[in-house]
Chain A
Amino acid sequence: MITFAGVTKRYPDGTTAVDDLHIEIPTGRITVFVGPSGCGKTTSLRMINRMVEPTSGSIAIDGRDVRAQDPAVLRRSIGYVIQQAGLFPHRTVVDNIATVPLLLGWKKAGARARARELMELVGLDPEQAGRYPHQLSGGQQQRVGVARALAADPPVLLMDEPFSAVDPVVRTGLQDELLRLQSELRKTIVFVTHDIEEAVRLGDSIAVFRPGGVLAQADAPERLLAEPVDAFVEGFIGYDRGVRRLSFFPARLLDLHTDAIVGEGAPIARAREVARSSGEPWLLAVDGERRPRGWVAARDLERGAVGSVDAVGDLDLVGYGHVFTVATDSLRAALDAAVLSPAGRAVGVDEEGRVVGVVAQTDLGSAIWAVGTDDAPTTRPVGRNG
């Protein structure tokens, strides 16, 4: 656990970067510092590894004051990742990663072997070991940065906007990777960002700073979205926090309809029957393995607009958009799928992509309403897209 006890940092020019910070950062969890530019996130982070010394107050790691250790020695036990990766341009990828083990006095061969292990762990191609940083893409450089920070297996990892310089797709990939690594490694991670979306995806807890270096609220992400303490926090996390909060509720909670599904080989007459008995305006056509094919409007079946076609699969099907995975996705993913669907309905599938059932926007509405009164969300966003 990292403990900030009444920490204040005032720079020589009089700027108060951090003002009387009290916070406990739990071991083995990701704690995110978030807030507008200049609110003291980086300063707070750097006081942990003594790159910045507090003006008053104290910081302890597992009860031990950081000032009790030589700064260089302390820093070798704390991984550090920054926005531009900070890679050494004159060292190859493998030697960049081996930096801290070498500083700790490992033999060169041992350090390089460890570096290669880490390349694999963070998903870097072993062929890139001999490259120089400028020969890598931004995303790859960040991976090297993460690998280098992890090389000596430090218990604590400090990350200062590590993913903000890469494009959104790569960023999402790196975030996923970080969560995967963390589920294996269980480091104590302090992660700085000014992106609330990223904070919610990654954080086990989130500390929101306000200008002037004052901690506004520190809470689990779900509580933060549900109960911002004041107008500043509410404004900072954004007015779509209601939708975002749906990330914390699993799509499993939904009642899926299965009565409006027809096989693509079914005759038109059979489809008409299904439409009448279910009363559904849209039927979902599935193939022999129950994978979605597309929507059929019940109205079209009635009007004889189907012409000479015999089977449902031969009709002009309406695209089903994107699906959600019932077991692993969140209500937010289901809502998103329904909103984007031309039929106003989302298709829920299992892990193999087979249709479990469909849900209409109106049904989603009541599920979401129920969620508002239900107080048992998960602690971490559900599913890939949060």
Chain B
Amino acid sequence: MGDQPLVRWDWITGNLVDPIGTRLLEHLQLSLSPILIGLLLAVVLGVACARWRWLYPPVFTGVNVLYAVPSIALFFLLLPYTGFGPWTAIIPLSLYTLAILVPNVVDGLGQVPDHVRQAAVAMGFSPLRRLVQVEFPIALPVVIAGLRVAAVATISMVSVASLVGLGGLGQLILTDGFRRQFTTPIVVGITLSVLLAFLVDGVLVLAQRLLTPWTRDHGAAAGRGSARRGEGART
């Protein structure tokens, strides 16, 4: 890359809105959608698995097998059907979050003490109301812990989606930086995606504090839940 400086500030200021801003927004959209869709699916699957325990082993194996498929393969597999639209990235990334979120939803619901569930039944909660008003809130700390891992993993994986030209900060790194042997967009892209991960994580931590005030002064009992999977790198 010759003798040019690592970061050229004039390039940044000149390209702040486009492509930097555009790519950032794309990245945000491409990571938030899978997280939300994944959460929704995981809640449905997790509740079903908690209700019918026999369902859990096959579902667990299923989401883990999915997780093992390289993302790039999935992107290419979907390309003929969904083209270069955002869904080509969103669908596989949503499926990946399941491997983290489904076990956490099941574990979270499993943390509801039996006597609490019994008491809810005895007081006349209907099954749906019991789920929404008693079991979900108690499961929330564990679910949010999983969500944090899933969010950071997804944000980093979106960059891979750019390899197949699906947009996001990876696109900045790849087309503006790598192909043109120009370091500034690469540095900007990496920095922004790390910042984005920090930001989303911070929002989730804040949400956890606001939504579960009862866990605040006793870390031992309720804040114990943690995600199963580390934030392993994936290609």
Contacts and interface: CB of A to CB of B under 8 A. Distances in A.
B151 to A, nearest CB: 23
Interface string B115-133: 1101111111110010000
Contacts of A80: 119, 122-123
B115 A86 contact: yes
Looking at B122, B137, B214, B222, the one whose CB has the most chain A CB atoms below 10 A away is B122
Nearest to B141: A90
A106 B214 CA distance: 24
Interface string A153-191: 000001000000000000000000000000000000000
Contacts of A158: 122
Given A132-B214, A134-B221, A86 B124 contact: no
Contact of A88 (B116, B121, B221, B222): B116
Nearest to A135: B217
B219 to A, nearest CB: 12
Contacts of B138: 88-90
Interface string A129-148: 00010110000000000001
B113 interface: yes
Nearest to A145: B119
B214 A90 contact: yes
B134 interface: yes
Interface string B70-83: 00000000000000
A80 B123 CA distance: 7
Contact of A51 (B122, B125, B212, B214): B122
Contact of A99 (B121, B123, B212): B123
**Interface range on chain A: under 10, 10 to 19, 20 to 34, or 35 or more?**
20 to 34
A268 B25 CA distance: 103
Looking at B125, B129, B212, the one whose CB has the most chain A CB atoms below 10 A away is B125
Interface string A70-100: 0111111010101111111111000000011
B179 interface: no
Contacts of A91: 214
Nearest to B121: A51
A247 interface: no
Interface string B132-170: 001001100000000000000000000000000000000
Contacts of A76: 123-124
Contacts of A87: 116, 119
A328 B143 CA distance: 58
B124 A100 contact: yes
A135 B120 CA distance: 20
A103 B116 contact: no
A379 to B, nearest CB: 30
Contact of B118 (A51, A73, A135): A51
A95 B221 CA distance: 20
A73 B119 contact: no
Contact of B122 (A73, A75, A89, A135): A75
B123 A90 contact: no
A190 to B, nearest CB: 13
B218 interface: yes
Contacts of A75: 121-124
A84 B115 contact: yes
Interface residues of B, number: 22
A115 to B, nearest CB: 14
Contact of B134 (A88, A100, A135): A88
A84 B137 contact: no
B119 A72 contact: no
A76 B121 CA distance: 10
A73 B126 CA distance: 9
Looking at B119, B126, B212, B214, the one whose CB has the most chain A CB atoms below 10 A away is B119
B137 A86 contact: no
Interface in B156-211: none
A49 interface: yes
Contact of B116 (A73, A89, A148): A89
Nearest to A151: B123
A181 B117 CA distance: 27
B178 to A, nearest CB: 49
B189 to A, nearest CB: 41
Contacts of B125: 72, 103
A78 B122 CA distance: 8
Given A75-B124, A89-B222, A90-B137, A82 B212 contact: no
A151 B49 CA distance: 34
A47 to B, nearest CB: 12
B218 A134 contact: yes
Given A82-B115, A86-B115, A89-B138, A49 B122 contact: yes
B132 to A, nearest CB: 12
Contacts of A78: 122
Contacts of A71: 124
Given A89-B222, A90-B138, A134-B221, A82 B118 contact: yes
A158 B217 CA distance: 33
A74 B214 CA distance: 31
11 contacts: A51-B121, A72-B125, A75-B124, A78-B122, A84-B115, A85-B119, A86-B122, A88-B134, A90-B138, A90-B214, A135-B217
Given A51-B121, A75-B124, 19 more contacts: A72-B126, A73-B124, A75-B123, A80-B119, A82-B115, A83-B115, A85-B115, A85-B119, A86-B116, A87-B119, A88-B119, A88-B120, A89-B113, A89-B138, A90-B134, A90-B137, A100-B124, A134-B214, A148-B123
Closest 10 CB pairs of A and B: A86-B119, A76-B124, A75-B124, A80-B122, A84-B115, A90-B137, A86-B115, A132-B214, A72-B124, A90-B214
